[in-house]
Amino acid sequence: MSEAPQPTNGAPDASEPPVTSAPSRIVALTARNTGIDLDLDLVRDLRANTSAIERRAGTLGKRRSIKKEWQAAWLLRAVTMIDLTTLSGDDTPGRVARLAAKARRPVRADILGALGAEDLGLRVASVCVYPTMVPAAVDALEGSGIPVCSVAAGFPAGLTPVEQRLEEIHRAVEAGAKEIDIVITRRHVLTGDWPALYQEVKAFRDACGDAHLKTIMATGELGTLRNVARASWVCMMAGADFIKTSTGKEKVNATLPVGLVMARAIRAYRARTGCRVGLKPAGGVSKAKQALEWLILVKEELGREWLDRSLFRFGASSLLGDIERQLEHHATGRYSAQYRHPLG
């Protein structure tokens, strides 16, 4: 992969219309990635200059500054890209129902009114739950147009037998999940067994049917950025609709250097195949400032086309609360207490 900083592709500045000028209605995901045959020569030739990647990633929050109404507009757009998530051992149908209510109305009405954004029809991108909570989420979101996303395939470790992992996907889809977030077997990456990884993801894609497939690579456990680049390519070749950084359960989750590697893999895959693949950082993105840095990365590396829920998502639970708090500050000039912005 190329390590040198790329020319900006219309980085955010005051000369562009606010991001909220685009409709925020629920839209379908982009056309499916059809996948291609596994190209081992391409995968094995991939390189990653870690120092150059980290240097480039370090500029993202410094070279661009988004302030005032522009910041509010970008944060409103970020809300529409959140997969609002609960993946706790003590999840209950009641908790899922509360999360679904927040998904329908992610920002308080008085804040939207103060911002002049009450007519945007603001909604999150999806609600993400464990497979057993899919029926509760489907019921709670009925009529909203918000899809249910389910983790599957032995989440978060991905070490259950393949047959069980495939059955878990089938059950989640049958229960009403429209998007499936699977975890790959990390040992395939660590041992360089790319054919095994390709066949695994391809089987998961087939099991999803019409549901969109997001592949979680657990990048904090892959060892090197080179492995991240290789795993990204193999997952896309196998037909992944999104590549996702993390489960949120690892010690190291979504980082900007990893995001940069994945974004450039997506860009190169688009150039080679014509297929667009989405990007989803998850785990550790809990502050509005971090969300803005990721949006800048996507805008500069992939272009405005990717600033849409069909091609970019945040996997998050607490991020929405901080964004709502920042929006209230923009509207009133004061920071409110965190408890005023519950997740549900």
Q: What is the pLDDT of residue 8?
A: 38
Residue 5 CB burial class (10 angstroms; 0-12, 13-18, ≥19): middle
| Nearest-angstrom CA–CA distance, 312 and 306 | 6
Provide the residue type at 328 as one letter.
E
Q: What is the pLDDT of residue 337?
A: 76
Domain boundary assignment for the chain: 29-340
Q: Which of 241, 280, 299, 322 is catalytic?
A: 280
| Nearest-angstrom CA–CA distance, 123 and 83 | 10
Share of the chain above pLDDT 90, in %: 83
The residues near 266 (Cβ < 8 Å, ≥ 6 apart) are: 232, 236, 243, 276, 277, 278, 279, 302
Q: What's the N-to-C CA distance of the chain in angstroms? A: 42
Whole-number Cα distances in Å, 227 to 1, 86, 187, 261, 306: 12, 29, 11, 10, 24
| Nearest-angstrom CA–CA distance, 263 and 269 | 10
**Predicted model pTM:** 0.90
Share of the chain above pLDDT 70, in %: 90
Q: Which of 83, 102, 181, 308 is catalytic?
A: 181
Q: What is the pLDDT of residue 317?
A: 87
Average pLDDT over residues 148-168: 96
Q: Is 37 in the active site? A: no
Res. 162: pLDDT tops 50: yes
Cis amide leading into 17 (omega within 30): no
pLDDT band at 68, cuts 50/70/90? Answer: confident
| Nearest-angstrom CA–CA distance, 218 and 90 | 23
Range 211-229 burial, b when 16+ CB lie within 10 A, else e: bbbbbbbbbbbbeebbbbb
Which one, of 234, 221, 304, 293, lies nearest residue 262 by Cα?
Answer: 234
Q: Is 181 in the active site? A: yes
Average pLDDT, whole number, for the chain?
Answer: 90
Condensed to tens digits (0 to 9), the pLDDT of residues 273-303 reads: 999 999 999 998 999 999 999 999 999 999 9
CATH number of 29-340: 3.20.20.70
Q: Which of 244, 299, 308, 322 is catalytic?
A: 244
Q: Is 206 in the active site? A: no
Q: What is the pLDDT of residue 254?
A: 95
pLDDT band at 26, cuts 50/70/90? Answer: very low
CB 235 within 8 A of CB 200: no
Q: What is the pLDDT of residue 66?
A: 83
